[in-house]
């Protein structure tokens, strides 16, 4: 038996709760998996919040065990790439959406989805990073691919107090950039500066409709917000700069002009964490293990029990959670 965040939907409505499940349930509902993982830790990302709170059609198969992230130890495997005792991390691939997820004591997953956990990272640290931190590294890699260097000028991180933003600040500051953090939570200024932000600005400066071309400021941008914020960030990006777009906290729309792209050569790089190819995924985790300051990671992390995850989901969606939530699935 193992505990899980179990989501159900029927004519009677939607429900989310902690359920005791038999191991046999994995064979029934995750039959296409070839690796059984004893999960140690999971986390709650924005997408998890949507699923648990039933705020968006994230879940496409019912019933569902929530959790798009997990880290733990292989218990059984028919996949030649993994053996019992291997430590692994899972992010995305439709887990928690169409395939039973990792907010559970056990998960049956496809070996092709799993990344061997770098030796220097524990399972708890891996979930303190989670999809949010892994996405932040993909954004940092996108800026590097665009040739953005610390000498080129400031970089902007929007939605800075959230999970992606927090890790992005720590990573980019660690790479020597002068990082400017945009947030709607002024009370988090000291927290953001502790992660490495040199300056904190009010998100209101970016969140309203703006001109197609604005004063150049940013050499690079990590945007977790979308909508007018992303449009303004592009309009303020310096010639040849790169904007990495990975979120939609303000909205899915992009009310922008082509002007920054054709007059300043600005690059807009879309960052996807769910179906990211394995070589880039592995490179991101290797870089995270090597670069991310563990004291800064600890400063942005709060641990909760499995039963607490349901109540935290609406807080994640409302932007009330600072940094990262790690879920100990075994308590």
Give the chain's domains with CATH numbers: 2-117+300-328 (3.90.180.10), 131-270 (3.40.50.720)
Structure confidence at residue 22 (pLDDT): 95
Share of the chain above pLDDT 90, in %: 93
What is the tens place of the pLDDT at every residue in 171-206?
Answer: 999 999 999 999 999 999 999 999 999 999 999 999
What is the tens place of the pLDDT at every residue in 67-113?
Answer: 999 999 999 999 999 999 999 999 999 999 999 999 999 999 999 99
Q: Work out the angle at residue 82's Cα, subtended by the Cα atoms of residues 81 and 84, and round it to the nearest 5 degrees.
A: 160
Structure confidence at residue 180 (pLDDT): 98
CA–CA gap between residue 64 and residue 317 (Å, rounded): 20
Does residue 65 have a pLDDT over 90?
yes
Assign 214 a pLDDT band (cuts: 50, 70, 90).
Answer: very high
Structure confidence at residue 12 (pLDDT): 86
Structure confidence at residue 57 (pLDDT): 86
Place of tokens 């989805």: 113
Contacts 24+ apart (CB under 8 A), 18-22: 18/306, 18/307, 18/310, 21/65, 21/104
Structure confidence at residue 296 (pLDDT): 93
Stretch 5-17: mean pLDDT: 93
Assign 11 a pLDDT band (cuts: 50, 70, 90).
Answer: confident
Does residue 130 have a pLDDT over 90?
yes
Provide the H-helix boundaries in the chain. Answer: 24-29, 46-53, 123-145, 163-174, 189-195, 227-235, 259-263, 278-291, 294-299, 309-317
What's the chain's average pLDDT?
Answer: 96
Pairing of strands 35-43, 106-109: antiparallel
């Amino acid at each position: 038996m193992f505990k899980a965040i179990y989501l159900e939907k029927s004519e009677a409505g939607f429900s989310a709760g902690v359920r005791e499940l038999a191991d046999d349930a994995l064979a029934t509902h995750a039959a296409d998996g070839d690796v059984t993982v004893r999960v140690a830790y999971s986390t709650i990302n924005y997408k998890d919040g949507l699923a648990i709170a039933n705020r968006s059609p994230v879940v496409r198969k019912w019933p569902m065990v929530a959790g798009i992230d997990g880290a733990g130890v292989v218990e059984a495997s028919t996949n030649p790439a993994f053996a019992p005792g291997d430590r692994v991390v899972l992010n995305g691939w439709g887990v928690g959406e169409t395939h039973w997820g990792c907010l559970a004591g056990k998960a049956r997953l496809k070996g092709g989805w799993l990344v061997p956990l770098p030796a220097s990272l524990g399972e708890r640290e891996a979930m303190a990073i989670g999809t949010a931190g892994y996405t932040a590294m993909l954004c940092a890699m996108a800026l590097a691919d665009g040739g953005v260097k610390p000498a080129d000028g400031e970089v902007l991180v929007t939605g800075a107090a959230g999970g992606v933003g927090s890790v992005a600040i720590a990573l980019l500051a660690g790479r020597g950039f002068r990082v400017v953090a945009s947030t709607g939570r002024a009370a988090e200024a000291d927290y953001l500066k502790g992660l490495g932000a040199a300056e904190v600005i009010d998100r209101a400066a970016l969140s309203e409709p703006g001109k197609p071309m604005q004063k150049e400021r940013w050499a690079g941008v990590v945007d977790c917000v979308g909508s007018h914020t992303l449009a303004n960030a592009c309009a303020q990006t310096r010639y040849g700069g790169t904007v990495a777009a990975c979120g939609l906290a303000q909205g899915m729309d992009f009310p922008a002009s082509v002007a920054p792209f054709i007059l300043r050569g600005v690059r807009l790089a879309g960052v996807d964490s769910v179906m990211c190819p394995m070589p880039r995924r592995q490179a991101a985790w290797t870089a995270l293990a090597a670069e991310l300051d563990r004291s800064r990671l600890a400063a942005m992390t709060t641990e909760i029990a499995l039963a607490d995850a349901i109540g935290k989901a609406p807080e994640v969606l409302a932007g009330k959670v600072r940094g990262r939530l790690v879920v100990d699935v075994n308590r």
